[in-house]
Structure 1
Amino acid sequence: MKKYQAPGAPKLLAVSLSLMLIGSARAQIQEVTVTAQRAPSLESKTPVTMSTLSAQQLSDAGIDNPAGVAARLPNLELDNAADGLRITIRGVSNADTTEKGDPSAAFMLDGIYIARPQIQNLSFYDLERVEVLRGPQGTLYGRNTTAGAINVISAAPTNRFEAAAGAAIGNYGSRKTDAMLNVPVNDALALRAALAYNRHDSYLRNGQGTPYSLGLDRDDLSARLSAKLKIDADATLLLRYEHSKVDDNNDSFVPDTNFYSGVATGNPVWRGGDTRAQLTNGFVPPNSAPEQGYSRKTASGIGADLSWNLGAATLYYLGSHRSYDHDALSNFYYRVAPGFALGVHQAFSGDYAQNSHELRIASNGGGALSAQAGLYYFREESSQLYSFRDLGALGLPPYYVFPHGPTIATSKAIFGQATYRLSDKLRATAGARYTDDEKSRVGSTNFQQSSIFNPATDFKLLNAAAMGTHQSTWRLGADYDVTPSTLLYGAVATGYKAGGFNDGCLAGSVQMGLSCPAALAVPADTLFYRPETLRSYEAGVKTRFWDNKASLNLSAFHYDYKNLQLSGVAIVQGAPRFVTNNAGVARVKGLEAEGQVRPTAQDRLHYALALLDARYVSYSPDGVYSWAGNKLDRSPSHALTLGYEHAFQLARGELAAGLSARKSGAYVIAVPTQLLQYRVPSRTESDATLRYRPTRSAWSLMARVKNIENKVHPISIDSFGMVVPSDPRTVDVRLDYRY
């Protein structure tokens, strides 16, 4: 008997099968192409410990600047301190954000090294992804990568017409807008333009009895123009121009007594308290009246990225010119004795210019050997004027003025790396880099009676130094395909951060018509500090399982640091100076795990776990007390991040609800020049999102809450006792349209 079949049943069955296949594909974890080894490769097949956040992940989490990235990734702290972005990877950081300092982790935009932390925390907009590489990257990325490297990669022009716009409003007067337009002019040329505007009021409360607004605010406008030109079938040129203007407030701190008791005794103890009180600056200076603080920054950059296929190899050129200007006025809380602080005004103006060039050649083809080699050049020149006033109450000159410049830093390098396929599954890699660095600066410390130097009443001390350092760094590694979806890798590598100098001069030196008499000279071992070096041992596994619905990236590492560079303000020859010293030996070891799980097309889970033991092996901040065994700054022993999102299918669209939480163990922020250690207790911080996307519609709507607990903690503490707090609870609603 012939079975009855409803009309259209085969078609319905085919549609059902198609939907099932689509749902299965959606449930799988999507592959991400990265450039961590300076060539495109799948992240799951790249034998480097790294994390990647796509543009969609950044948008869904409401991450619109670098400081928001750390909540999603293991062993990473990115803090928007008053003096710039503070990067801590696996417990290693750097506090010297002055023109003579260098970071321990490189921050890059489209592969271009951005030297100054003050301009690194700009808006995220129209990005393709963010790559975070951990551990020394001294072979392919160069100096100042002992802790790792962060590469923010913007979207390049494409060969199709695209347009997008978004706007958001929230508490604290938050308002954000961004837009993008991509136009393919012809088969050879495509243009792209993007801009972003972000603004919110201060998170701090003024309890000083003045009408002035405080910091932890935001007001920035950024724009980017890109052009991608296909010169011929083998050569492509990508040009980018960027410009940013930031007009906010540097008074983004409160006294450390808002969070701690016992500071005057040298033993700070966390006292917790109400968030509103912690975010209130109630310090009334006994010696001066606060003024309206401000910070005005302008940054611009132009870059060229050329690739030229020569057949057996491809030639790459990456070059950039960037400039940055900064004017600011700050009202400092300036502790001069236990339990006693003054109000000090600091005025600052500075201009910076940097140029970088890299020429690299990489082999093509599928042979057993792949290799790349290159030359690198970097130069930064800057001038600054620092001015401190209102210390007359201590019987000191009313003005301390630091005219510095030019400060010049150059770095030249030659590098190469090769990978040889020993078998179908096993590969070995070797790389090396030689770097030569030079630094110089001229300037002075002026003791003045007024804002204008008067030779009859005022006095200058010479600040002048020059030094050169060089280092060879290398990497040896191997990786093995355990299965088609599981990669095992290991590496031994070294890292290097250039040495530098402090304020002062060597006896007998002469600059700017100023001499350095022996009575005022600084010994060489105090004036100069040595390069920071690292040897790293690391092993890891990257695997995808459960029909590509789950992933795990697992790594274990051990670091041996020498001459770790630590910085802080100290009084030298009667004047406040920013001093960097070498901390002897430090040892870091730990374990990291992160991944995703997609059990269904409607469910998504991400996780990250970090275990860390980062301690000094030998270090004495003052030559008397030993801090051996103490933890490095911002190095919690454990941190766990969990996030879950579920998509509800509605009649006319999709509603997705997500929750992400990060639990961090306690850690320490130390001020070595004051022999102070501030313990930041363990905490949990959670975010939630709700997103609606109509079916076959170009618009979407999202509501977000960050820091649901509304708890704040110190993200930086300086030598004067000024704390920059973290952000309180923020709420916003965002509308997006994409054509």
Structure 2
Amino acid sequence: MINNKARWQPALLAASVSAALQGMAHAQSVPPTPDNTDGQVQEVVVTAQRTASLESRTPVAMSVLTGEQLRQAGLDQPSALAARLPNVHLDGAAAALKITIRGVTNADTTEKGDPSAAFMVDGVYLARPTQQNLSFYDVDRIEVLRGPQGTLYGRNTTAGAINVITNAPSRQLEGAVGVELGDYASRKVNAMLNVPVNDALALRAAVAANRHDSYLINGQGTPYTLGLDRDDVSGRLSAKLTLSPAASLLLRADHSSVRDNSDRIVPDTNFYHGVASGQPTWYDASTDQRLTNGFVPPNTRPEQGYDHKTTTGLSAELAWDLGPATVTWLGAHRRFDNHVLFNYYYRVKPTFAIGVHQNFDGVNTQDSHELRVATNGNGPLSAQAGLYYFREETNTLYTFRDLALLGLPPYYVFPTGPTIARSKAVFGQATWRLTDRLRATAGVRYTSDDKSRVGSTNFQQGPVFNPATDFKLLNAADLDTHKNTWRLGLDYDVTPTTFAYATLSTGYKAGGFNDGCLAGSSALGIPCPAALAVPASTLYYQPETLTSREAGLKTRFWDKRASLNLAVFDYDYRNLQLSGVAIVRGAPQYVTTNAGVASVKGLEADGQINPTIDDRISYGLTLLDAHYVSYTPDGVHSWAGTKLDRAPSNTVTAGYEHRFLLASGQLRAGIVARRSAAYIIGVPTQQLRYTIPARTASDATVRYQPSGAPWSVQAQVRNLENKVQPIAIDSFGMVVPSDPRTIAVRFDYRY
């Protein structure tokens, strides 16, 4: 049996756990943070507006999950969060994270595409969706902002923004170790150690390792393992240096290694009949049947798939309090290496599919800098302004094999590089206190983006290009776009515990280009004659823009034992960037086009109720009408009125937790369930619309902690119903299914 999985790095884990345990041996037990004894809904401090404020006083529709909430719910990667977030889908589709917020999404995860939602770690933007489905460990909180954030966060935020904020070094000696075991051979280990070295320096180290076997069943008759598995090791070292009473420097270095399997797919016929007729119809089947890849290619044999990723990041944040204002500089460098072998299910005709092997090798580097000045104090005016610079460079090599039935040579190859993206921006936002209770906000950002790429489409007889037998088509383009995004808002303290706001804001996603070249151009020694060129309207696609009108209310009532967050919104959404595979010049290519106009309207309500100090109820309701107003994917058939992807008309979420006080400690038991209406995943290039039926998914947790003890143990079941559904469907008929039911037991020790 071939197995390309790398083993965990035992030396790294052993050293980290040993360090934490040695620290525990010299420290006294510290009891956990005491429970809220008054039953009030706890406040959370956020930085959604780039300055600290209470979440209940921040004029943005947002959700916040603290590190403790993540740990207790067993949420350790982005794709696990969506069940707790209103109007949000976070799907680990193929090898990348697909973010959908209020029906606004993106399908192009290649080096030339951009996401619709900004994903950040400690304020550093991660450009590639393939980098974003990372492990959560030693996290302080996660802030999910819904709606365009074009002023303070910039481009690629038409859907919203997600910021993962990790714990910084503190002045307290502390440590933690967690171990989890579950079905599918799941095992997880994490450790953290925080050491105050002296009055000026504090260090913090954290590591995590996660592994489980594949959720898929191999019905292909091969000895190979399939995907939907996990095998990753991550570590982070942070240092906080106090330079003076007014200045500090925070340094972070992180590294992660992933050795999982790229073959995360099953054919769409595992879920649907009628695909060949253009009318996919859902049918009943068992979960095992859904998760079985029984496709036997008629033209080739599968190979052992793999997906090897390595990520390294360095960042520095300098904060200097000058009295009237604080100056902050945040700089970062990141590198991402990715090597993949993927076995495709490739439908070439409505009733016929072949097997295709894809090899991919890519290296991505990015550098970013932001300089920001924000006023201090409680005067009538608060303001911030800044400069931003971002540069990304990517070199990739895509190789496709076994496409002979399409009339292509044995190797269909896309060497690309460099692809370079630069973004520069200047921004500012100010809030005026008009009265003691009423404030007005105005902000603007100017962004200039330029992208360029050189590469080729190669038709080769062998793995290496031979000028005597092979030929190339040029892929070369460059595009400059710029945009002003802005925000206007009013917020008002209705009562000391009720806050209302209204905003008018915009978002922007940069334009880009497809494969091909303009007539008369040349690069890499390859000319672009008119006979092989593509028109500019095919080569380029335009920026995506969104204008949002939103009003919201955040309130605490019943002596602050209950909360309600309410938002209503209306979007004017233009030039949607939609992607899929199309046949261009007789060969398949991944093409992005603009989709006209869409309308998005909705309502979100969520909150918490604490009837007693031992009972907690969470609730949520979303209503959403997100559809195309004008869009003809093939120039003939109109999709006007068709829902946007992953935009259910309603969802309902409810959770309940009870604390049992025992003689020896406390036991918490809870359940959370989410009911989603049906929604659509569309494949415009194939004129297909797949309906995902309505579904309820539930998670249950039981957690025990002895009185005054530094340890706890918990058991968790996720997806009690054990139902799966597609989370992504591509142009070839490949489906990435959701996870089946999983069970795990976890032990945590903290001091």
For residue 333 of structure 1, the aligned residue among 340, 345, 351 is 345
**How many Å apart are 1:391 and its aligned residue?**
1.1
- Per-residue displacement from partner, 1:457-485 (whole Å, max 9, x unpaired)? 11100000000000000000000000000
For residue 680 of structure 2, the aligned residue among 650, 659, 668 is 668
Distance between the aligned counterparts of 2:130 and 2:512, measured in 1?
Answer: 19
**How many Å apart are 1:140 and its aligned residue?**
0.3
Matched with 1:581 is: 593
**Unaligned stretches of 5+ residues in structure 1:** 1-21
In the alignment, residue 452 of structure 2 is paired with which amino acid?
A: S
> Is the aligned partner of 1:467 residue 2:479?
yes
**How many Å apart are 1:601 and its aligned residue?**
1.3
In the alignment, residue 528 of structure 1 is paired with which amino acid?
A: Y
Distance between the aligned counterparts of 2:36 and 2:273, measured in 1?
Answer: 56
**How many Å apart are 1:605 and its aligned residue?**
1.1
Q: CA RMSD in A?
A: 0.8
The 5 Å alignment of 1:365-376 reads 365-376=377-388
For residue 244 of structure 1, the aligned residue among 253, 256, 274 is 256
In the alignment, residue 231 of structure 2 is paired with which amino acid?
A: D
- The answer to whether the 8 A contact 1:408-1:439 is kept is yes
> Is the aligned partner of 1:622 residue 2:634?
yes
- The answer to whether the 8 A contact 2:120-2:162 is kept is yes
For residue 708 of structure 2, the aligned residue among 691, 696, 699 is 696
Aligned residues: percent identity? 69
In the alignment, residue 695 of structure 2 is paired with which amino acid?
A: R
SS of 2:97's equivalent in the other structure is strand
The 5 Å alignment of 1:274-673 reads 274-673=286-685
For residue 124 of structure 1, the aligned residue among 136, 148, 162 is 136
- Per-residue displacement from partner, 1:111-134 (whole Å, max 9, x unpaired)? 100011111111110000000001
Distance between the aligned counterparts of 2:465 and 2:36, measured in 1?
Answer: 74
Distance between the aligned counterparts of 1:119 and 1:207, measured in 2?
Answer: 30
- Per-residue displacement from partner, 1:161-187 (whole Å, max 9, x unpaired)? 000000000000000000000000111
> Is the aligned partner of 1:731 residue 2:743?
yes
SS of 1:435's equivalent in the other structure is strand
Matched with 2:269 is: 257
Distance between the aligned counterparts of 2:162 and 2:467, measured in 1?
Answer: 47
For residue 713 of structure 1, the aligned residue among 721, 725, 736 is 725
Distance between the aligned counterparts of 1:26 and 1:513, measured in 2?
Answer: 73
SS of 1:156's equivalent in the other structure is coil
TM-score, normalised via structure 2 length: 0.95
- Per-residue displacement from partner, 1:21-55 (whole Å, max 9, x unpaired)? x9874411111000000001000011111110111
SS of 2:531's equivalent in the other structure is helix
Distance between the aligned counterparts of 2:258 and 2:297, measured in 1?
Answer: 28
Distance between the aligned counterparts of 2:676 and 2:112, measured in 1?
Answer: 33
SS of 1:489's equivalent in the other structure is strand
Distance between the aligned counterparts of 2:51 and 2:364, measured in 1?
Answer: 31
Matched with 1:41 is: 53
Distance between the aligned counterparts of 1:37 and 1:88, measured in 2?
Answer: 21
Distance between the aligned counterparts of 1:26 and 1:39, measured in 2?
Answer: 29
Matched with 2:90 is: 78
- Per-residue displacement from partner, 1:657-688 (whole Å, max 9, x unpaired)? 00000000000000011000000000000000
Distance between the aligned counterparts of 1:664 and 1:654, measured in 2?
Answer: 33
- The answer to whether the 8 A contact 2:408-2:587 is kept is no
Distance between the aligned counterparts of 1:264 and 1:95, measured in 2?
Answer: 23
Distance between the aligned counterparts of 1:646 and 1:366, measured in 2?
Answer: 41
Cα 1:341–1:655, aligned 2, differ >3 Å: closer, same or farther? same
TM-score, normalised via structure 1 length: 0.97
For residue 161 of structure 2, the aligned residue among 127, 146, 149 is 149
SS of 1:67's equivalent in the other structure is helix
**How many Å apart are 1:542 and its aligned residue?**
0.3
For residue 136 of structure 1, the aligned residue among 133, 140, 148 is 148
Matched with 2:220 is: 208
Distance between the aligned counterparts of 1:313 and 1:111, measured in 2?
Answer: 20
Distance between the aligned counterparts of 1:37 and 1:237, measured in 2?
Answer: 21
> Is the aligned partner of 1:27 residue 2:39?
yes
- The answer to whether the 8 A contact 1:24-1:600 is kept is no
- Per-residue displacement from partner, 1:366-399 (whole Å, max 9, x unpaired)? 1100100000000000100000000113332111
Matched with 2:18 is: none
Q: Which moved more, 1:389-398 or 1:73-82?
A: 389-398
- The answer to whether the 8 A contact 1:648-1:655 is kept is yes
In the alignment, residue 112 of structure 1 is paired with which amino acid?
A: V
- The answer to whether the 8 A contact 2:224-2:304 is kept is yes
- Per-residue displacement from partner, 1:250-296 (whole Å, max 9, x unpaired)? 00000000000000111100013110000000000000010000000
- The answer to whether the 8 A contact 1:126-1:180 is kept is yes
For residue 722 of structure 1, the aligned residue among 711, 715, 734 is 734
- Per-residue displacement from partner, 1:300-354 (whole Å, max 9, x unpaired)? 1011111100111110101100000000101000000011000000000000000
**Unaligned stretches of 5+ residues in structure 2:** 1-33
Distance between the aligned counterparts of 2:629 and 2:342, measured in 1?
Answer: 37
SS of 1:627's equivalent in the other structure is coil
> Is the aligned partner of 1:678 residue 2:723?
no
For residue 99 of structure 1, the aligned residue among 102, 105, 111 is 111
SS of 1:277's equivalent in the other structure is helix
